[in-house]
Structure 1
């Protein structure tokens, strides 16, 4: 995998490999959502190769010497409880076009686990509310099909008939979610909307767009969903990334046990 990446940089001789080349390779893996443990394993294999080549006098200098192993710690955003999520989703005013838009936006982010970049770039022809799925282009322009869910499909239908037509202006494109000016809604605006509605719902947690995606994965796993299915829906390149959510849920259960079991503190 490293060798293939180096070839894309025009490098076929290990003697010419520098730390900047390996850093670029690791960055490309990070963008594909490989977790730190997977990155460390891949880097370890390259270190062994460099050590072997140097021992065989086929390499003047170990090009991995200055590389630092990726950190294993990874911060995850706050996830919402199911009750908090229901309050959040009910916050938009469905009597207004913008309220219909925002409800559909949030239902899709939570109901399908979409990234903020994916939700903003959704096109009208990429979503099928009747069949209940959407075609999404994720990181690396990889296409995947995600289920909508009944609530999300209904919210999108409501927005398409009673929200979006009022936001369309001259020059409006085929994007699904529009701003009040008829342009595609920006990532920044989605962030602002999530924060504003969280406050309206009385949620004190630091809610973010990725927190809705986090809640999607956590709630699925809480309900017994298969981790490989969740990985596919999230568009994770590495199942290790998805496994982080199982660790978070395990920690939550331990906290619940410690706080409420009568013998846990005896």
Structure 2
């Protein structure tokens, strides 16, 4: 049997393995559709590479196959972060194969991966975030002073994103009853279906009140359901529309970096830490599973402290 080319179908044992793995990711790990697609794409690439090397069965996978798969992608110029993610996908797969008895051992347990560069997007200064929010509120009224439903929505979602640091996917998944307006809390379903409650402040509470009382009813249609944020036609707002809103409002602030929702999340985290919040609390707010992920933001604040020191200290 000749080895399959890059676009040829996988050998039947590998195709069946991929189908079983998808069921595992969906039913047992309860991962989001986006995460499932990413894992399956990486694993399919690995299995295809192994098949081209002559493997036909999960037991044919070995550490050499995994390393050659990563080396081939490195030679194609893939970034360190992509290689690190794919190495993780390989290790997760081989651990599952061993745990379910499909292979005698975990061949990927000793697979190394390049350490990804920890780069953070540009963040707003606190005054720029304030100016961005004011601009959104001003845009909510038309020339006659009548509130625009879409403008009220945009102001509310910007305030909520910055107040809570939630992810854009978490934002668009919110329903109206996820808001606890008595305690100014929002219930968020994060990565891995983990639920957390995040507080928000008075400006966000006021913007949400205006949206729910004057904006959302004007856009709601019978098929709107319980979605908190709606598009112009009454359907649940999608992530692309939120990104457009954030980029547009950031452009109204002179000198501010061009950021999207993720940049607004980073801004919120940075401002929390600069304001004195402890790292563990910020971890809970952001929904990070590891404190090490949250610690990235301390690099930003340390750099700002260094610049302030160099500008202000007479012997810097």
RMSD: 3.0
Task: Quote the residue 2:79 is aligned against.
Answer: none
1:57-109 deviation per Cα after TM superposition (whole angstroms, max 9, x unaligned): x98x96567x4424242111111111000000011223221111111101111
**Contact map agreement 2:124 2:256 (CA 8 A) in 1:** no
Task: Quote the residue 1:118 is aligned against.
Answer: 170
Task: Quote the residue 2:252 is aligned against.
Answer: 200
> Structure 1 regions of 5+ residues with no counterpart?
24-35, 47-57
Q: Structure 1's 106 and 63: CA in aligned 2 closer, same or farther, altered over 3 A?
A: closer
Task: Quote the residue 2:187 is aligned against.
Answer: 135
Task: Quote the residue 2:238 is aligned against.
Answer: 186
Q: Structure 1's 193 and 234: CA in aligned 2 closer, same or farther, altered over 3 A?
A: same
1:116-139 deviation per Cα after TM superposition (whole angstroms, max 9, x unaligned): 000011001111112211110011
- 2:264 maps to 1:218: no
Task: Quote the residue 1:78 is aligned against.
Answer: 122
Task: Quote the residue 1:175 is aligned against.
Answer: 227
Matching residue within 102, 113, 125 for 1:69: 113
**Contact map agreement 1:124 1:174 (CA 8 A) in 2:** yes
Matching residue within 210, 230, 245 for 2:297: 245
Max radius of gyration: which structure?
2
**Contact map agreement 2:61 2:107 (CA 8 A) in 1:** no
TM-score (norm 1): 0.75
1:146-175 deviation per Cα after TM superposition (whole angstroms, max 9, x unaligned): 112222111101110111111112311211
Task: Quote the residue 1:94 is aligned against.
Answer: 140
How far apart, in 2, do the equivalents of 1:100 and 1:162 lie?
A: 8
- 2:164 maps to 1:164: no
> Structure 2 regions of 5+ residues with no counterpart?
1-20, 26-57, 70-83, 95-103, 142-147
Give the SS at the match of 2:273: helix
How far apart, in 2, do the equivalents of 1:98 and 1:197 lie?
A: 13
**Contact map agreement 2:174 2:228 (CA 8 A) in 1:** yes
How far apart, in 1, do the equivalents of 2:292 and 2:180 lie?
A: 30
**Contact map agreement 1:129 1:154 (CA 8 A) in 2:** no
Give the SS at the match of 1:131: coil
* TM-aligned CA deviation for residue 256 of structure 1: 2.1
Q: Structure 1's 203 and 191: CA in aligned 2 closer, same or farther, altered over 3 A?
A: farther
How far apart, in 1, do the equivalents of 2:262 and 2:149 lie?
A: 24
- Report how many residues are paired: 223
Where relative contact order (Cα < 8 A, 6+ residues apart) is larger, the structure is 1
Q: Structure 1's 135 and 21: CA in aligned 2 closer, same or farther, altered over 3 A?
A: farther
TM-score (norm 2): 0.64
Runs of 4 or more off by more than 4 Å in structure 1? 14-23, 61-65
